[in-house]
Structure 1
Amino acid sequence: MTPKSSYTLRAALLTSATLTCLSLPSMAAAQNAADAVEEQTAANAAEERDTEAVIVVTGSRIAQPTVDSAAPVQVLSNVQIEQAGVTNIQDLLLENPIFGTPGLSRTNSAFLTAGTGVATVDLRDLQTNRTLVLINGRRVVGGVANTAQVDLNVIPTQFLERVDVLTGGSSSLYGSDAVAGVVNFIFKENFEGVDANIQYGITQRGDDRRYQANLTFGANTGDGRGNIMAHIGYSNEEGLLSRERKNTRVDDFDTSRLTGNLSDWGTATEPFFSSFPPQGRFITGAGTFTFDNDGNLVQGFSTNGPNGDGVGANGFNRQAFRTLATPVERYLFAARGNYEVSDGINAFFEGTFSRTSAERLIEPFASQSAGPNGIFPLGGVVPIENFIDRDTNGDGINERVIAINPFVPDEIVAVATDQDGDGLRDFGFARRLVEFGPRFQSTDRDFYRFVIGLDGSIFDDRFNWDISYNYGQTLENQTSQGQVNVPNFQQALTAQQDFDDLDGDGDTTDAICINAQARQGGCVPINLFGVGGITDGAIAYVNADGTFDTDMTQQVVQANLSGSLVDLPAGPLGIAVGVEYRVESSSSDRDSLTNQGLNAGNAAPDTSGSFNVLEGYAELRVPLLADTPFFELLEVGGAVRVSDYSTVGTVVSYNGTVTWQPIEDLRLRGTYARAVRAPNIGELFSGPSQTFPPGINDPCQGIGLTGGGAVGDNCRAATGVLTNIMENGGTFTLNQADAQGISGFNIGNPDLQEETADSYTIGAVLTPRSINALRGLTLTVDYFNIDIDDVIQPPGRTFTLGQCYTSNVQESCDLITRRAITGPINSAGSLEFINAVQVNSARLQTDGIDVTANMAWDFDGLADGGQINARIAYTHLFAYDFTPAEGQPADPQDGEIGTAADRFTAGIGFNSDRFDIGFTGTFIAKSFEDDQYCNGFTGDCPSVGSEFNLDMQTAFRPTEEFEVYFGIDNVLDNDAPDILNGTTFNITGADTAADTYDIFGRRFYTGVRFTF
C-alpha cells in the first residue's frame, strides 16, 4: 500500500532539488485544471479556484491558496525536501535568496562561547531574532539562551509536508518577532503506511561524512475516525577541521592590514603565526628569550621568520587545531495524531523530542602575564624573587630572606630587573599551554515540545475553530576544557626551592609553592620554560573546566476562529479572530570562575528572566467585486493585534492588503504592515558581560594643559587626566598597555521598549492560463520595503566617547570610567571601562525586488508519463542601511559580502513515475568589503567575484515501493573566495566568509527510500 502522504503531490510537484519561489501546489493544480478542458469557461474557472483552495498557507489566518495571497508567500514541498538530500532543512532554505546569511550554522559557530552547531535562518538579512519560526502555525521555544531564536536542528526534515515562507511584517497575524516574516514548518498528517530512508554522504576530499536514517509510519484507527503517526530520525555530520584542507592548514593574515593599502586585500601573508609559542616567550629588562627547536634557551624571538637576531620562525600555527564545520549529531522523534470525538469536534496532539550534540575544537589556550586577561593583570609580571621566612642558620629563628623560583633559567635570572617597583626581579611571559591540550567544548541540547487541543467546525462548516495548549522546553548542557584557574595559576607561578622539605618527600632541591595555604589546597608549581615542562600535577591544579547550563521554557494557550461570515455578491466575507496567552522564561548558569572573569577569559554573568503576554487579533477579508470586466476580483483585507506585555506594556500591530485581478491571468497585490518586536530576555535582563573592544581611541590622547576646545575642557575635568598631563611634560600620554587594555561591560536594560517596523510590498502574479504555450507558467514580481525604528542595539563605544567629550551628554559620561592614580603615572586617567547598555537607538532599512518564475511541461506520450519543471528565484537589493544610533550616519551594507545586491537560485528537472533528474544553480553577485573597513586604508574598496554553484540529483524507482537516489552538491567544485583573517567578513579558521560561501567543495550523497 502506498503511503497516503508520500506521493500525494508527486505528479504535481516533482521538481529538482531547490526551493520553489511560488506555490507549486497552486501552479500545478491550475495547470491540471487547464489541461482538463479546451476552453476556460466560468464553471471551469470556479472549479480551478476550488482546486487551488485545497492548499492553505501561512499568508493569512483565513484559508486561501498561495497564488491568491495578498502577501508574498513561497512554499517548499515535501517532494523537494526529499530530493534535496539535506541533513538539516537550513541547508535547503538558504538556497533561496530571500534568506540572509545565517546567524548560526555549522560553519560559523566554532569560536562562539554559546550556540555551537545551532542552525538558524533570517529573512532579508534582518537577523534571526526578527524572523518568526512556527511549527504547524504555532510558536516554538528558542534554542539559544535568553533569545527567541529557534534551532532548526529540532525540525524533523523527513516529517515535513511543506514549508511556508511569508515575507514582510506579520506581527498582526502571528505576534512579536515576525518583523521580517514567518517560516512555518508544516508536519505531515493523516499518514498511512511506512516511509523509510537511509543516506550516506562524503566530500570529494574524504571528510565531513554525513549519515542519516529516518522512519515515518502511520495508521488509521479501526473505526476510521482517527489517525496516529510517528517519525524517528538520526543524523550525524562528522565535521571538518582547518588542517584537513590545504588552503586552511597554516595561519595567514590579509596583507592589506599590514600595509594599509587595499590593493593588497585578499593577498595572504603566510605564515602569520601566533606570538604565543608552546615553548614560551619571556620578557626581561634585557630583551626577549625563547627556546629553539633543540630546547636551548636563546635570546630574541621571531614569530614568522628571521629577524635581526637571525632567529627563525618560532610562532604557533593555530590553524592546526581549528574547526571549520562543527560536528553535529541528532536524534529526533516526532508524533502527531487526531481523533474525531464527535461530529464537528476533533482532538489532536503533536509531540517532538530532539537530542542534538555538537562539538568544537580550537587551539590550546594562550596565556600571558600581562594584558587585559593576564595572569597578573595589575602588575603584568611574574616574580622571580620572593621574600620568605625561614631559619637559615639553625638558631630556631626565622629570618626574612629572598627565594628564587628554581624553574627560571639562570640566563634569565642574571639579566632580569625589577619591572613593577617592588624591589625584586621579575619577568613577563606569553605561552601557548599545549600541555593542557586543545580547547574542547561539547554541547548537548534536549528539546521537548508537545501540543494538545481540539478543533472542529460550526454553523454548517462555515467556521473552523481550534483551541490548544503548547509547551516547549530547551535544556542545554555545555562543558569546556582548556582554560585556567587564574588564582591557582598565580599561586603555581610563585614558587621556591623546597630547602626545608616542607612537602615531606625527602627532596630539598625540588620546587614548591610559596604560599602554605595554597600548598594545603594542592598547589603544584608550574614550569613554563620549554615545551612539555608543565607536569600533570600542575595541569590538574591550574586547569579550569567551564560549564554553561541553560533552561528555556515556553507555554502558549491560544484559540482561533475563522470562516465565512456572510456571502457577498463578490464572494464570502472572510473573518478570523483569536486570543493567545504566552509565558516565556529563560535562565543561563555559568561556572563561578567565568562569572568572575577568573578563568583568563571575559567575565560573563548568569542571566534569568521571564515575561508574559496576552494578545488578541482580528482579521477581515472583504471581496468587493468579482467576475466583472476589469475586475475579475477586487478584494481588501486587514488585521489588527493588540498585545499586552508584562515588560513593555501594550503594543498594537496591524496590516492592510489589497488584491486586484483585472483579468483572469493577472493578479496585482499590495500590503502595508506595522510590525513590532518586543525585547527578549537577554536584552532585558542580561547582567554585565565583559568585553575588550578593539579600535578604541582615547579622545584625551595628546590633550595639553590648555586648548582642545570642549574635548580638552572635559578631559582636564578628570583628576587622573590632569595629573597625567602635568607629570608627562604637559601632554596626556598613554603607554601601549593602557591603550590596549580598555575593557567594558555589555549590559541588558529592563526599560527597553519594542522595536517598530513599517513594511510594504507591491507585486503582481501572472498565470497565463489562456495562452497554450505559457499555460504552465507562473510569474511573480514583488517590491518590498522594510523600515525598522527603535532597533535594540547598544551604542558604539566610540559614539559614547564622542557624546560625552564633545557634546557633554551626561548619560554617555556615566558609562565611562577612568583609572585612578594607583600605579605608574602613565596609567593615571587612562580609559578603564566603557560600558554599553542596550537601548532603542538604531534603525534598519532595506528594500528590493523579488522575481520568481515557474514553468512546467507535461509529456503524456511517454511510457510512464513525465514532466519538465523549471523555476528561478531572483532578489535584487536596492538598499540595506544600518544606522547604529541617532546622530550617526547610516552604514550602507547592500552589495557587501553576505548582503549581495543580486542573488538567484534556478533549477530545471525532469520527473516521471520511474525516473527523476534535476539540476539547481545558486548565484551570488560580486560583493565588496565593508566600506567602514575601507575608510581606514588607501585605495579602492576591494571585492570578490560572483559565485555560482551547481547541484544535481537523480533518482530511480524500479517499483512504487522502492527508490534509490544519488546526488552531487557543488558539481563544479568551486572554491570559496579568499576572505582572509583580519578582514571584516572572515570566519576564524576558514579563510573565507564560511557563513556565506560553500567551504566543503564537491560532495556526494546516495540513499535508498522504502515506502509501503
Structure 2
Amino acid sequence: MFKINKLTHAVLIGTLGSAAWSGLTPAYAADEENTESTAKDASVERIQVTGSRMRGTDLQGFSPVQTVDAKEIDSSSVANIQDLLLKNPAFGSPAISRTNSNFSTSSAGVATVDLRNLGTDRTLVLVNGRRFVSGIPGSAAVDLNTIPTQFIERVDIMTGGASAVYGSDAVAGVVNIIYKQEFEGVEFDVQGGQSAEGDAEENQLQFTMGTSSSNGKGNIMIHGAYTDQGAVYSRDRERSAVDQTSLGAQTGKAEDMFTPVRPFYSSFAPQGRFFAGDTQFTYDKNGKLIEGWSTNGSATREANGFNRNNYRTIAIPVERYLLATSGKYELSEGWSTFMEGTYASSQTQTELEPFALSSEDLFPSTGGQLPIEFLVNQGGKDVMVRNPFVPDAVFNAATDTDGDGFRDIGFTRRMTDIGNRGNIADRDTFRIVGGVEGEITDGWYLDAFYNYGATKESQVSSGQVNVLNFKHALQAYKDANGNLMCIDADARAQGCVPVNVFGAGSITPEAAKYINAPGMLSTFTSQKVAGLNVNGDLFDLPAGSVGLAVGAEYREEFSRSEFDPLQQAGLNAGNAIPRTEGGFDVMEYYTEVNVPLLADVFLADQLNLRGAVRFSDYSTVGNTTSWNVALDWAPIEEVRFRAIRAESTRAPNINELFSPPSQDYPSGLTDPCNGVTATTAGAAAEACRKDPLIMANIQANGAFTQTQADLQGISGYNRGNPNLDPETGKSWTFGVTVSPENIAVLEDFDFNVDYFDIEIEDAIVSTPRQFILDQCYGGGDTSLCQFVTRRGQTTGNNNIGTLEYIDSGVSNSGGFATSGVDVVVSYSKDLGDYGLTGQANARLSYTHVIEGYAIPLPGSEKDPFAGEVGAPENKFYLSLGYQWEDLTVAWNTTFIGESYLDDSFLTSKKLAPESVSVGSVTYHDLNVAYQPFDVAEFYIGVNNLFDADPAPIISGLPGADTGVETDAGTYDAIGRRYYAGVRFKF
C-alpha cells in the first residue's frame, strides 16, 4: 500500500490549509472520503479524486486539476459562482450571463461556463461527482444560478477529455462542484453592495447549519440563501447611453473601427414614418405633420429617429432563493447511506426598447401596403370611404401601388403605446440524490445512487402585437352615423377597436389592449440517473497494488419548450419559434485500471500507468466508445511528470436533434455584395451580379445599396437535425508539477505547467451565416446559396435585393481545435522567517493559447479564434494575500490580453487578419476582512477598484452585445462596485 509522500502532503496542506484564501490552487483533491481502516494500515485514508472513479491513498491524480475553495469564495463575496470561475483563464467567454442575454427570447439571465472556448455543451458540470440537471431546455448546460455558492467546499476544474470517466459532454473538461460535508455549527452571512454609479445593487443573506447525531453515526446539513442582483441600464453608462455604430463597420477602414457614429438612431420611431407615393411623412417633436425624414438629424433638421439604448439593459436583475441539504448516516460498520437535495427558485427580468413594427409585418402579401380607402355598403349601395385617421396630406399623396384601384401607404412605427419589450421568467430547479456506499470486503468499495432533477420555467413576455388583430384594427372607417368601425364584420363581432398609428401616443388604451399580445413560454427539463460503481485492489505488484474500478450508469434526459400559439406561428410580429420536445436514454459501462510500474528506485520514485474506457448505447445515435490512457512519473519526490491521451465523445443534445425551424434575427453580418457596381472586379462581385435582384439594386442606385433599416432587419431560421452523429474529441496533455521542498530558495513555491491539445472531429455546428454568405458569393460553394433569401420588392424602407433571410442548420460538418499552456504557481510564507509578522500567500494562474480555430465545413479553411475578442491568447489571474492576526487582506488581479476583431469580419472589409485589435484590460479587486471575535468577521471590498473601462466593442463590430457596447461576457460592463458584510460562526 502506498504511503502519503512529502509532495502529497504539501498538496494536501495547500488545498485544505487554514489560510484565509487559496486563490486558484493547483490541487488533486478528494471529492469523497472514506476513513475506514484497511487491513494493511488503519491510518491510511482512501480518497477519490476528480478525474478518476478509483479510490487511492495518494491525493495526486493523473489529470491537471485546479481548485477554487471555500476561502476564495468567501473572500470574493460573489453571489454567483460563475463570477469567480470566469476569472480562471481556462474559461472562455460564457454563452449566457446576466450581462449578455438581455435580448434572449428564453434562458435570459442563466449563468453558464465554457472551458477553452469550445462551447458550453462541451463542458460537463458535476455536483459531488454526479450530473446536475440542465438549466437550459434541450441543452446539457447547467445554470449556476441553481448552485448555492456559500455551500460549496471547493470547485475542481479539470480540462481535457474526460468522457471515459464521466460520459458525454466532457470533451473540453469537467467542472466538479463539491458541497460542504459533515459540517457542525451555524454560519450566517449578510452582505450588501452597489456600483459606484449607484445601481447594480446586490444583497445576499445566507445561513448554513449542521449537526451530528448523538451516537456520531449521522450528520445533516441545511443551507439557505437569498440573493438579489439589481439591474444596470444602458442609459446609465456614458458609452452606451445613445444608439451608435462603428464607423469602420461602414467604411471598412481600420482606423475607423473604434470611432462611433453617434447618434445612430433607429428609423422606427414612436411618431411613425409614412410612405405615400413618392413622399415620406413624419411628425416633429411638437406633433406637427412634416414631410421628409432624417433618422440621425442634420445641420438643418432635428433627428426623427429613436434612441433604443435609452430602453435597454446591461445587467439583468436576478432574484433567487436557494435551499440545499445533505446528510449521511452509518447503517453498520463500513456502510452508510447518503442524500443530497437542492431547490433553487429564481426570477429574471429583461427589458428592451418597444417593438419596431412595419406595415410589411402586417401585410406581407402586398409588400407592406396598407389600404386607406375602401368600398362599403351603405343604404344598399357601395360607397367609397377612407380611413379617417389618415391625415389629408398623406391621403392626397398616396397612390394605388398594388393595382386594386384603392390608395395605399406603407409605414413603420415604434410601438411605445404597447410598452417596452421584455420578459419575466420564473425558474424552479429541484434535484434529489440518494445512495449507499461502503466497503464490500477488504479494500473493495461500492457506491450506488439514484439522481432525479427537474427544471421548470414559466415566462411572460410583453411588448408584442397580435398581427391579425392589428391588421383588422388598421382597416377602419366612419359609418353613416359617424361611428368609427373596423371594416371586417367578423372582427367587429370579436371586439375590434380601430387603431390610429399617426403620431406619438395616438393609440388609445382600448386599441392598445385589442392589439396587444402578451407572450407565454413554458419549459420542462428532467434528468434521471442511476449509477453503480465498484473499485478496489486486484493484486499487488512490487511497486504497489493494481487498482480497478468498474461501473454502470443509466440516464434519461427529457426536454420540452413551448411558446404560446401566436409566438409559434409568428403572429405576434416577432420570431416564429415552434414547440420543441424530445428525449433520449443511454446505458453506459466503464472500467478503469491503475498499474503501479515502479516505485522507490533510481529515477522512479513512482511510475504509474492508468487507463479507462466507457461504452455507451444511446437511443438516438447508437453506440459510442470513449477512452483515455495516462502515464504518471515522479523521478524524485519533488518532481512529477504526466502524459494523457484521451478520446471523448459528445452525443447531440435534444435541441440539436429535435428543434424545428425557429426564427432568429442575427447581427454583425456583412453582405459581400455591398458597394458592388456594374464594373467591380473580383469573384464576389461577379457572383453578386448574377443574381437579378442584386443587379436591379445596382441599376437603381449605381452600386448595391443597403439602408439602415435593411441592415437592422435581417432574419433567418435555425434548424435541428435528427440524423446527427456523435462528435469526437481527441486530446493530449503533458504536464509537470514541481514542489522543491528541499531547495531553500524555492521551498515555499509549487509549480505546475501543462500543455494541452484538443481536437474535435465531426463537430456538431450550425453553419455560420457569414460563412454561408462568403461561400455563396465568390467563395466556391454555391450550394449554400439555398439558405439565402433576398427581398424581391421595395416597400419604402428597404431596397430590392437586400438580405431578408439567412437560414442555418445543424450538422456534423464542423471541427474545432485548441492548444496552449497552463501555468499555475503558488507561494505561501510565514514572514516571521524574515523578522516580519504575518503570513503571505500568492497564487498565479496563467494560460497562453497557442492555437485555436474552427472549421465550418469539411475542406474549408481554418477560422482562427485564438487571440480574438472573447478568446485572448494571454490571460492570468493573480491572487495576493496577507494575514496578520485578525486582519486579512486579499488583492486579486485579472489580466485579459490584447485581442483582435474576428478575422472573418476583417477580411470581409478587405483588411488583413489581426490588423485591428483592442488593448489589454486589467481588473483589480480588493477585499479586507477583520475578525475581532471568534464568532464574527466583518469585511469590505471593491471590485474593479480602478474602474477600468471595458474594451470598446461598438455596435456593428463582431462580439458586441446589443446595448452594452462591449463584449459583456468577457469584459466588466458594470464598473467599480463596493460591498460590505458580516459573517457569524457559532
Q: What TM-score results when the alignment is normalised by the length of structure 1?
A: 0.89
Measure the CA separation in 1 of the matches of 2:850 and 2:383.
Answer: 75
Measure the CA separation in 2 of the matches of 1:342 and 1:756.
Answer: 44
Q: CA deviation at 1:514?
A: 1.0
Q: 1:962 aligns with which of 936, 940, 952?
A: 936
Q: CA deviation at 1:79?
A: 1.3
2:274 is aligned to 282
Encode CA deviations 1:380-431: one digit per residue, 9 max, x unaligned: 121111222222xxxxx22x22211110111111111122222211111111
Encode CA deviations 1:286-311: one digit per residue, 9 max, x unaligned: 3211111111111111111126xx32
Q: CA deviation at 1:566?
A: 2.0
Q: Which amino acid aligns with 1:369?
A: S
CA contact (8 A) 1:700 1:715 kept: no
CA contact (8 A) 1:141 1:474 kept: yes
Encode CA deviations 1:185-243: one digit per residue, 9 max, x unaligned: 11111111111111111111211110011111011112211111110111000121111
Q: Does 1:900 align with 2:872?
A: yes
Measure the CA separation in 1 of the matches of 2:574 and 2:92.
Answer: 31
Encode CA deviations 1:884-941: one digit per residue, 9 max, x unaligned: 1113211111111111010001111113552211111110111111111111335663
Partner of 2:268, secondary structure, is: coil
Encode CA deviations 1:152-201: one digit per residue, 9 max, x unaligned: 00111111111111110000000000000000111111111111111111
Encode CA deviations 1:572-593: one digit per residue, 9 max, x unaligned: 2121111000000000010111
Q: 1:574 aligns with which of 532, 537, 547?
A: 547
Measure the CA separation in 2 of the matches of 1:916 and 1:529.
Answer: 64
2:982 is aligned to 1008
Q: 2:460 aligns with which of 479, 485, 501?
A: 479
CA contact (8 A) 2:430 2:453 kept: yes
Instruction: Show the 5 A alignment for 1:938-957.
Output: 941-957=915-931
Measure the CA separation in 2 of the matches of 1:524 and 1:116.
Answer: 34
Measure the CA separation in 2 of the matches of 1:859 and 1:727.
Answer: 75
Measure the CA separation in 2 of the matches of 1:666 and 1:808.
Answer: 53
- Name the stretch that deviates more: 566-575 or 179-188: 566-575
Q: Which amino acid aligns with 1:960?
A: D
CA contact (8 A) 1:116 1:358 kept: yes
Encode CA deviations 1:219-270: one digit per residue, 9 max, x unaligned: 1112211111110111000121111222221111111123221211111111
Partner of 2:263, secondary structure, is: coil
Partner of 1:361, secondary structure, is: coil
Q: Does 1:885 align with 2:875?
A: no
CA contact (8 A) 2:790 2:805 kept: yes
Q: Which amino acid aligns with 1:267?
A: T
Instruction: Show the 5 A alignment for 1:261-340.
Output: 261-306=253-298, 310-340=300-330
1:35 is aligned to none
Q: Which amino acid aligns with 2:593?
A: L
Encode CA deviations 1:99-147: one digit per residue, 9 max, x unaligned: 1101110100101111111000011111110000001111011001111
Measure the CA separation in 1 of the matches of 2:566 and 2:57.
Answer: 56
Q: 1:776 to 1:564 in 2, by over 3 A?
A: farther
Q: CA deviation at 1:499?
A: 2.2
Encode CA deviations 1:817-873: one digit per residue, 9 max, x unaligned: 89999999x999999866433110000000000001001112568999842111100
Q: Which amino acid aligns with 1:761?
A: T
Q: Which runs of 5+ in 2 are unaligned?
A: 1-11, 31-39
Q: 2:824 aligns with which of 852, 869, 878?
A: 852
Q: 1:850 to 1:259 in 2, by over 3 A?
A: same
Q: Which amino acid aligns with 2:851?
A: A
2:506 is aligned to 533
- Name the stretch that deviates more: 559-568 or 473-482: 559-568
Q: Does 1:254 align with 2:246?
A: yes
Q: 1:627 aligns with which of 586, 595, 600?
A: 600
Q: CA deviation at 1:60?
A: 1.4
Q: Which runs of 5+ in 1 are unaligned?
A: 1-7, 27-45, 392-396, 501-507
Q: Does 1:20 align with 2:10?
A: no
Q: Which amino acid aligns with 1:760?
A: W
- Name the stretch that deviates more: 759-768 or 66-75: 66-75
Q: Which amino acid aligns with 1:156?
A: P
Measure the CA separation in 1 of the matches of 2:785 and 2:963.
Answer: 38
Encode CA deviations 1:750-781: one digit per residue, 9 max, x unaligned: 11000101001001000001123322211001
Instruction: Show the 5 A alignment for 1:720-735.
Output: none
Q: 2:898 aligns with which of 896, 902, 926?
A: 926
Q: Does 1:491 align with 2:472?
A: yes
Q: Which amino acid aligns with 1:587?
A: R
Q: 1:808 to 1:225 in 2, by over 3 A?
A: same
Instruction: Show the 5 A alignment for 1:663-674.
Output: 663-674=636-647
2:33 is aligned to none
- Name the stretch that deviates more: 266-275 or 911-920: 911-920
Q: 1:657 aligns with which of 609, 615, 630?
A: 630
- Name the stretch that deviates more: 525-534 or 778-787: 525-534
Measure the CA separation in 1 of the matches of 2:804 and 2:947.
Answer: 50
Q: CA deviation at 1:875?
A: 0.3
Q: 1:963 to 1:864 in 2, by over 3 A?
A: farther
CA contact (8 A) 1:12 1:24 kept: no
Measure the CA separation in 1 of the matches of 2:902 and 2:588.
Answer: 41
Q: CA deviation at 1:271?
A: 1.4
Measure the CA separation in 2 of the matches of 1:527 and 1:17.
Answer: 63
Encode CA deviations 1:514-572: one digit per residue, 9 max, x unaligned: 11111111111111111111000110010111111100000000001122222221122
Q: 1:696 to 1:714 in 2, by over 3 A?
A: closer
Partner of 1:436, secondary structure, is: coil
CA contact (8 A) 1:576 1:619 kept: yes
Q: Which amino acid aligns with 1:931?
A: D
Q: CA deviation at 1:745?
A: 2.6
CA contact (8 A) 1:15 1:909 kept: no
Partner of 2:310, secondary structure, is: helix
Measure the CA separation in 1 of the matches of 2:388 and 2:126.
Answer: 64
2:5 is aligned to none
Q: 1:386 aligns with which of 363, 374, 377?
A: 374
Q: What TM-score results when the alignment is normalised by the length of structure 2?
A: 0.91
Measure the CA separation in 2 of the matches of 1:1002 and 1:66.
Answer: 43
Q: CA deviation at 1:803?
A: 7.8
1:837 is aligned to 809
Q: Which amino acid aligns with 1:390?
A: Q
Measure the CA separation in 2 of the matches of 1:994 and 1:183.
Answer: 22
Q: 1:952 to 1:63 in 2, by over 3 A?
A: farther
Partner of 1:243, secondary structure, is: helix
2:236 is aligned to 244
Partner of 2:417, secondary structure, is: helix
2:99 is aligned to 107
Measure the CA separation in 1 of the matches of 2:779 and 2:959.
Answer: 33
2:50 is aligned to 58
CA contact (8 A) 1:256 1:265 kept: yes
Q: Does 1:353 align with 2:343?
A: yes
Measure the CA separation in 2 of the matches of 1:998 and 1:779.
Answer: 30
Measure the CA separation in 1 of the matches of 2:253 and 2:674.
Answer: 28
Q: Does 1:369 align with 2:359?
A: yes
Q: CA deviation at 1:378?
A: 3.7
Partner of 1:362, secondary structure, is: coil
2:439 is aligned to 457
1:38 is aligned to none
Partner of 1:787, secondary structure, is: strand
Measure the CA separation in 2 of the matches of 1:495 and 1:880.
Answer: 59
Partner of 1:594, secondary structure, is: helix
Measure the CA separation in 1 of the matches of 2:791 and 2:265.
Answer: 33
CA contact (8 A) 1:281 1:431 kept: yes
1:30 is aligned to none
Measure the CA separation in 1 of the matches of 2:141 and 2:178.
Answer: 18
Q: Which amino acid aligns with 1:596?
A: A
1:995 is aligned to 969
Instruction: Show the 5 A alignment for 1:527-566.
Output: 527-566=500-539
Aligned residues: 958
2:395 is aligned to 413
Partner of 2:517, secondary structure, is: strand
Partner of 2:491, secondary structure, is: helix
Q: 1:1004 to 1:13 in 2, by over 3 A?
A: farther
Measure the CA separation in 2 of the matches of 1:836 and 1:24.
Answer: 43
Q: 1:809 to 1:520 in 2, by over 3 A?
A: same
- Name the stretch that deviates more: 238-247 or 899-908: 238-247
Measure the CA separation in 2 of the matches of 1:9 and 1:476.
Answer: 43
